[in-house]
A = this chain, B = another copy of it.
Amino acid sequence: MPVRTGVIGVGLMGAEHARLLTDAVSGSEVAAVFDVDPERAEAVAAASGARVFDDPMVLIKDDSIDAVLIASADKTHEQFVLACLAAGKPVLCEKPLTPDVAGSIRIVAAEVELGRRLVTVGFMRRYDPGYADLKAALRSGDLGQALLLRCVHRNAASVPVPSAVLISGSAVHEIDIARWLLDEELVSVTVHCPRRSSNSGDTQDPMLLVFASASGVLVDVEVFLNAGYGYDVRCELVAESGTVLLDSPAPTVRRAAGSLARAVPGDWRQRFTEAYRRELQDWVDAVAAGEPPRGASAWDGYAATVMADAGIRALDTGRTQDAVPRDQPALYR
């Protein structure tokens, strides 16, 4: 009996999730779709054999739906996640959990009140084989303690966005992965602003963020939304006696016209397809087994929002900002 998922929001990201849930995940089907744009919903529904709902709240409550995936606009996440908790349904919510700290606190509070974990936040990098290697290397102890985590997050191009989006929408991935790799909280952040690219309009792009973890590990993150050449995510763990670096895998090397070249991914779909597929498979497996989710929790979503919020304050004030999350409820330990 496959897990019947309802997908709320089928823009670029939600449509990709629906495609993977339909075509590449075992024991899964997309049973329902909602989007503010009905045509978009119809298109995805046609490809997956799903039913189109015109009210996401009705979709969430519908008995034919086992679990919910939320990929709608950030500001709508809170209400949908809370509705899923109220309906007792497992929910995978795209990052960020909420754009604001208060919203994340309300979700955590509701889940704690419920007394069991239903919420997963879509920090899919935890499922990338490269990051898994980094974590295994650190855990093995072979390289000693972590000292630095050097991160780069570049996109080929972006529509105009407020500068804060480089932090809340992009660096938030590095915030989560740093917390997960280092297994501790980040506690402060400084933002450095270089001259802007002439392709970036009024947006402060690129941007350099320097986080410190509770134990003093520095995590620096270059975000560059209009890097031009492609999608490029890097991470190097620098430890006491060695380093481990994400590679840029490409299936082939072409030699032509005086050049030995590998393709750079155009966007996250090429770079992280396998991570998304594994994330969804793991989520579906947990739902099918009635087990708690194993990906990033509501707490992780909250902690990332707290640190992104501090980053935005650091950007606005030009000063280092501290940010310590609240005490972690027992549910998440």
Contact = CB atoms under 8 A, between A and B. Distances in A.
A323 interface: no
A43 interface: no
Contacts of A133: 251-252
A142 to B, nearest CB: 7
Contacts of A266: 258
Given A192-B190, A264-B259, A228 B254 contact: no
A120 interface: no
A243 interface: yes
A9 interface: no
Interface string A178-197: 00000000000010111111
Nearest to A24: B26
Interface residues of A, number: 79
A144 B229 CA distance: 12
A162 interface: no
B255 A230 contact: yes
Interface stretch (A59-67, A169-177, A209-217): A209-217
Contacts of A201: none
A248 interface: yes
Contact of A220 (B193, B220, B248): B220
B249 A250 contact: yes
Nearest to A245: B253
Contact of A229 (B2, B24, B243, B249): B243
B260 A254 contact: no
Nearest to A136: B252
Interchain residue pairs A-B with the least CB separation, the first 9:
A195-B216, A242-B256, A228-B241, A249-B249, A130-B251, A194-B218, A133-B252, A261-B261, A129-B251
Interface of A: 2, 22-26, 28, 128-130, 132-134, 137, 142-145, 147-148, 150, 152, 156, 190, 192-199, 206, 208, 210, 212, 215-218, 220, 222, 224, 226-230, 232, 238, 240-264, 266, 274, 281, 285
23 contacts: A128-B251, A133-B251, A134-B252, A142-B256, A145-B198, A147-B195, A148-B206, A194-B212, A195-B215, A195-B216, A210-B210, A228-B242, A228-B257, A229-B243, A229-B259, A247-B250, A247-B252, A249-B250, A259-B262, A259-B263, A259-B264, A260-B263, A261-B261
